[in-house]
Amino acid sequence: MKVVGIDLAGSSRNETGFCVLVVEGERKVVETKILYSNEELFSAIVGVKPDLVAVDAPLKYDGVNRKCDEALRQYGALPATLPGMETLAKRGVLVARELERLGVKFIEVYSTASAKILGVYNMEEFSMQKNLLSLSLDGDVNKRLLIKDELDAISAAVTAYLHLLGQTKVVGDEAGFIVIPSV
């Protein structure tokens, strides 16, 4: 099984975390990198041919607050109507449209909620990376220090993996759905 987690930046000038999680039997290997442009992002996704892509960004937005964001406020979710979030939402909608056009299956996630639910969240990056090891992950998480965008992309990828296993729940309504772990 192969899934992708993306911590999407609102602007292509900023760092977008990208994680490929490959699961073969009991082995779960993550490979992360930083991308910038939509072209880089779609090229990487097409190159991976994932079973599912999890994007940490609003993928559906019509200019009003979404119930899914409100429901996840306890985990730190912000309303999509805030100026910075609105910029992210607009890029997220474009990404979702292109993923649909490419025939790629995708879900919207909120990485911070996923990390908190899984018990690996920590504001300090090194500690969070250490905590991610408790999920029996191998690969880049064991090889080098990762930045926050990469760590969030790992949480997104783990959520995609759990979703394919049926271990998630969906929060929201027709205005937007966010998938979170149910473990």
User: pTM (2 decimals)?
Assistant: 0.96
Q: Would you give per-residue pLDDT tens digits along the chain (183 residues)?
A: 999 999 999 999 999 999 999 999 999 999 999 999 999 999 999 999 999 999 999 999 998 889 999 999 999 998 888 888 999 999 999 999 999 999 999 999 999 999 999 999 999 999 999 999 999 999 999 999 999 999 999 999 999 999 999 999 999 999 999 999 997
Q: What is the dihedral of CA 43, 44, 50, 54, to 10 degrees?
A: -110
Which fold would CATH assign to domain 2-181? Nucleotidyltransferase; domain 5 (3.30.420)
Residue 146's nearest CA partner among 136, 131, 160 is 131
d(CA 152, CA 138): 16
Q: Can you give the residue ranges of every domain in the chain?
A: 2-181
